[in-house]
Amino acid sequence: MTEINSVTTLTQDGDVAIVTLNSPPVNALSANVRDGLFEGFKQAIASDAKAVVLICDGRTFIAGADITEFGGASKGASLFDVQNMMEGSPKPVIAAIHGTALGGGLEVALCAHYRVAVPSARLGLPEVNLGLLPGAGGTQRLPRIAGVEKALEMMTSGRHAPAKEALEMGLVDELAPEGQLKEAAVAFARKVVAENKPLVKVRDNNSKLEAAKGHPEIFENFRKANARKFRGFLAPEYNIRCIEAAVNSPSFDEGLNVERKLFMELMTGSQSAAQRYYFFAERQAQKIPDVPDDTPTRAINKVGILGAGTMGGGIAMNFANAGIPVTIVELKQDALDRGLATIRKNYERSRGAKPEETEKRMSLLTGSLDMDDFKDCDLVIEAVFERMDIKKDVFTKLDAICKPGAILATNTSALNIDEIASVTKRPEDVIGLHFFSPANVMKLLEVIRADHTAKDVIATSMKLAKKIGKIAVLAGVCPGFIGNRILAQRQREAQKLVFEGAMPWDVDRVLYDFGFPMGPFAMSDLAGLDIGWVKEKSKGETIRDVLCEMDRRGQKTGAGYYDYDENRNAKPSPVTEKIINDFIVKSGRNPRKVSDEEILERCIYPMINEGVKILEEGKAIRPSDIDVVWVNGYGWPVYRGGPMFYGDLVGGPAKVLEKMKAFQATMGDDFKPAALLEQLAAEGKKFADFKR
Ligand code: TC6
């Protein structure tokens, strides 16, 4: 065995040289890895071996470029040097793939002459999710090996294709038995040597491009079909243009030049900076300084849910999906039946639903009218009406019923969890698990740590979140926690703006153009304006009161802030406009023209300021946690990173402070800057610099 460098070894098995990488956690292509590969291949090619296998130790094949090196000075061998060395090898090169071959990792594998993979391996070019495109020849090689349509789909979705599918599309040449990758790759190499066929490079294989030549409509149709999904993002369009270049350029190298140019544009732009930041933000959110990774956790083998309404049912589905049995308790039989029937319907309606899967999941759900049935549950989550007296009553009962060590969780979105915990004799077992609606779909889970919550309860909740496919963020107890507390700022300004002369569709348009999936008024119409509205108590004091009194209760009644046609397409409503103008006149003011810039700044800057208050009070661990909440739970466009990242993008604390002060001077203390904002600005810091 030759040790090439600290992460690479070269061995020989008979006439096959084996270059092995071992750079945990994911064998990313750091300078050290590139150097090792370059030197390893050089020596392997110079040796008396007849073929070379590239394989990785640890959990995965190369999972991509090392994202932490992006933006830094380039060191060591370039990726292109490595690729040229492999592709130009006079001896067949075989990439042996397990785990994931992603991004630069797949681009390296595409410079081998053959690829062998175990069935559990997955292959993909996920750069689009980092606001990038595969800038190491992937845009030119993938369509050559898998065809234009597959390449379009894979590169713009970033999807990781399972090895079997990769085999079907020609990306993988042979599947190896699980656990026997090295032996299979070496045997494959010997077979290739014995056949003695000329070596084919992917770059020279143009046959799969032919079908798309002279058919620009393939690309246009693809753009049209995905316009909604790609809205606002640069990277999908740039990936498409590269594939167009693969088809239309006279040579591989010219296509590569297009790729290089577009890659550099994306790499130096703010969208990719935001998306790369976000990649690490999501992983960082899992790290809690005083709850280290090795904190023991409690076993969660059975879950109880109190309440079979929309929220309770959605929460239950998450656990059933993960194979964890759930007991759902309701007060009345008809509510329980309705809840279980809704869950069944949701399963039956979900894409690709198989009847046997639905049955399997339903069989994990047990309905009951008796809270005593929670007695053997390891975790109970209540999803009952949001009233403190009801919550306290529930927790008193849970405390009496549940076994010692069971975690007692509340799904409250605003109530004080310390107060809820205070009625139990075990506040250390009480935690907030704030799911977002629809709870079976939304990725975000706010995990709320109360004063006495035990560390192992936090560790268990974070781990469990991952198991059920959620992205968890830890927050402290405060009204609205992280997400809704910041949302309240935006909602308040949106409402105020329409009292000054902006129309709901103006506010919505500005926020939609910013990248939110929908503005606050369109959202209210979708949810129903009458949520929380009581006819008997309505005094026509707000626009919403008047709209509801006129039975304009949102999309479901065909009208709300907007008018809707039979296909639920929204149109600005002259009725709403008149109601608003009447309100303004009644208040003795004149409607004024509100600029788009003002709408955006008034909605966004107070959100950033509130984020700073949350940090100041220690209710979020770090600025990026706030961003994870907003991207995952509230549709903040990931290409703008989240409110705190965006704050830095537009000029950092100094700029946000200046804006807040200017608004405060004319509009009062809704714009009062947080003390920490003043401090960060005075210190010339960025939000990202904040550490507690
Ligand atoms: C590219 O290749 C561009 C090429 C152009 C060439 C010019 N770099 O996700 P996990 C870390 S772009 C650096 O928790 P999993 C991660 O931060 C890249 N670090 O594990 C974490 O560190 P921590 C294209 C990376 O098993 C640890 O590894 N490739 C990278 O749930 C474990 O990660 C991608 O976009 C990286 N590339 O999932 C793939 N990747 O423990 C990105 C991971 O200190 N990676 N880390 O927090 C993934 O999708 C997943 O990590 C995974 C493993 C599926 C590989």
Q: What is the pLDDT of residues 342-351, one digit of tens each?
A: 999 999 998 7
* pLDDT band (50, 70, 90) for residue 631: very high
d(CA 107, CA 259): 13
Distance, CA 273 to ligand 1 centroid (Å)?
16
Residue 104 alpha carbon, nearest atom of ligand 1 = 2
Q: Would you state the structure tokens that stand for residue 283, as one six-digit string?
A: 């992983």
For position 542, what pLDDT does the model report?
A: 87
At residue 528, the pLDDT reads 92
pLDDT reading at 352 higher than 90: no
Question: What is the Å distance from ligand 1's center to 82 Cα?
Answer: 20
pLDDT at 70: 86
Rg, the chain, Cα only: 29
482-502+594-692 matches 517-586 in fold: yes
Asked if 27 contacts 202 with a C-beta cutoff of 8 angstroms, the reply is: no
Q: What superfamily in CATH does domain 517-586 come from? A: N-(1-d-carboxylethyl)-l-norvaline Dehydrogenase; domain 2 (1.10.1040.10)
Residue located nearest, by CA, to atom 17 of ligand 1: 280
486 lines ligand 1 (CB under 6 A): no
Collapsed DSSP state (helix, strand, coil) of residue 410: strand
What's the gap in Å between 27 CA and the centre of ligand 1? 9
**The domain 482-502+594-692: what is its CATH number?**
1.10.1040.50
Q: How far is CA 366 from the centre of its chain?
A: 31
pLDDT at site 354: 85
Residues 80/259, Cβ–Cβ less than 8 Å: no
Give the helix/strand (H/E) hosting 474: strand 471-476
25 lines ligand 1 (CB under 6 A): yes
Q: Per-residue confidence at 591, pLDDT binned at 50, 70, 90?
A: confident
Predicted local confidence at residue 350, as pLDDT: 85
Pure H helices in 133-197: 138-146, 148-157, 163-168, 181-195
Q: Do the Cβ atoms of 199 and 139 come closer than 8 Å? A: no
Which is nearest to 486 in space by CA: 282, 624, 634, 306? 634
Q: How confident is the model at residue 537 (pLDDT cuts 50, 70, 90)?
A: confident
Read off the DSSP letter of residue 560: S
Which residues are marked as active site? Answer: 107, 127
State residue 366's pLDDT score.
Answer: 97
> What letter does residue 324 receive in the DSSP assignment?
-
Q: What is the pLDDT of residue 692?
A: 80
67 lines ligand 1 (CB under 6 A): yes
Backbone angles phi and psi of 78, in degrees to 5:
-80, 160
State in Å: Cα 64 to ligand 1 middle.
Answer: 7
Whole-number Å distance, alpha carbon 63 to ligand 1 midpoint, is: 6
Query: What's the confidence (pLDDT) of residue 162?
Result: 98
Q: Which CATH superfamily is domain 2-267 in?
A: 2-enoyl-CoA Hydratase; Chain A, domain 1 (3.90.226.10)
CB atoms under 10 Å from CB of 289, counted, come to 8
Provide the residue ranges of all domains of the chain, joining segments of one domain with +: 2-267, 303-478, 482-502+594-692, 517-586
CATH number of 303-478: 3.40.50.720
Probe residue for ligand 1, chosen from 7, 21, 26, 139 as the CB with the greatest number of ligand atoms within 8 Å? 26
pLDDT at 159 over 90: yes
Percent of the chain with pLDDT over 70: 100
CA 56 to centroid of chain Cα atoms:
28
Cβ 130 under 6 angstroms from ligand 1: yes
Q: Indicate if the pLDDT at residue 590 is higher than 90.
A: no
